[in-house]
Amino acid sequence: MALFLPLSEARAEGAGDIAVLITGVSTVVIMMLLLFIVFVMNADVAPMTRLLATLRNRFWTGAYTEQKIGVDHDFDGITELDNRIPPWFNYLFYGSVVFGIGYFIHFHVLGGTLSAGEYEQQMAAAAIERRVVLANEGSIDENNIAVLTAADALANGEGNYQKYCVSCHAKDGGGIVGPNLTDQYWIHGGGVKDVYGIIKNGVAAKGMISWQLVFTPKQMQELASYVLTLQGTKPLAPKKAEGELFVVKADSLKK
């Protein structure tokens, strides 16, 4: 998971919990209502229908009888009448006034955080998080990185690859906008240091993003290691080779 984009994802997860809760509660309520109608009311829904109709007339549409109060507009026999406004429309209006007062007090009197402030808070939190990570992992960089071979490290790399890289490099590394990562031809070199460096710094002019604000050094190491496992695999629709044949030197793939 990208460490520096945590808030939107955390929100999405929280929203998922609430959706499950709402679905669960409403299912139970509907079930109980059905049981009540069948067993307590003997499926006689007439009283309930009457009740609902009364409520609707009272609070929603208003007992609608067209009133013949003319407003003196007559266009070729088509007249305009002054009928009452349905209650639901008024509730919207009153509601927005009440909401507006609450909003004003919360944000402009009591100093609630506006979206610009929220953005700054999130950026500050992310900056702290980033400093913590760099303190732990900052020693990993393109000069000293080694290939990881542990299964869980490669699985992490694959997870992030499938989430962030496939739109340009394809699921199997065959390449789309970005080059084929499975062949031995590399534009920027095929050693782990080269691959790590490209992931970290990107090639902005060519559309390869710099990922160092999205991933931690460790995550980029996992990604680079995973990318190198694609070497020699057979993608479905390989893009033709770009760059130069990379000859593995003794230290370029050091474990």
| Selection from 234, 124, 222, 135 nearest residue 180 by Cα | 234
- To ligand HEC, the closest distance from the beta carbon of 171 in angstroms equals 12
Based on the shown chain and the rule CB under 6 A, indicate whether residue 243 belongs to the binding site for ligand HEC.
Answer: yes
Closer to ligand HEC by Cβ: residue 25 or 221: 221
Among 56, 126, 158, 188, binds ligand HEC (CB under 6 A): 188
Closer to ligand HEC by Cβ: residue 96 or 167: 167
Based on the shown chain and the rule CB under 6 A, indicate whether residue 192 belongs to the binding site for ligand HEC.
Answer: no
Based on the shown chain and the rule CB under 6 A, indicate whether residue 235 belongs to the binding site for ligand HEC.
Answer: no
Closer to ligand HEC by Cβ: residue 68 or 234: 234
| Selection from 112, 113, 127 nearest residue 6 by Cα | 127
- How many other C-beta atoms lie within 10 A of the C-beta of residue 243? 15
**For residue 110, what are the contacts with CB-CB under 8 A and spacing of at least 6?**
none
Two structure tokens written together for 1: 């998971």
Based on the shown chain and the rule CB under 6 A, indicate whether residue 213 belongs to the binding site for ligand HEC.
Answer: no
| Selection from 201, 80, 196 nearest residue 140 by Cα | 196
Based on the shown chain and the rule CB under 6 A, indicate whether residue 159 belongs to the binding site for ligand HEC.
Answer: no
Based on the shown chain and the rule CB under 6 A, indicate whether residue 79 belongs to the binding site for ligand HEC.
Answer: no
**For residue 7, what are the contacts with CB-CB under 8 A and spacing of at least 6?**
122, 125, 126
Cα-only R_g, the chain: 32
Q: Is the distance from CB of 166 to CB of 158 less than 8 angstroms? A: no
Among 140, 148, 153, 199, binds ligand HEC (CB under 6 A): 199
Closer to ligand HEC by Cβ: residue 156 or 186: 186
- How many other C-beta atoms lie within 10 A of the C-beta of residue 178? 21
Closer to ligand HEC by Cβ: residue 2 or 126: 2
Based on the shown chain and the rule CB under 6 A, indicate whether residue 246 belongs to the binding site for ligand HEC.
Answer: no
Residues engaged in binding ligand HEC (CB under 6 A): 161, 164-165, 167-169, 177-179, 181, 186-188, 195, 198-199, 203, 206-209, 211, 223, 227, 243
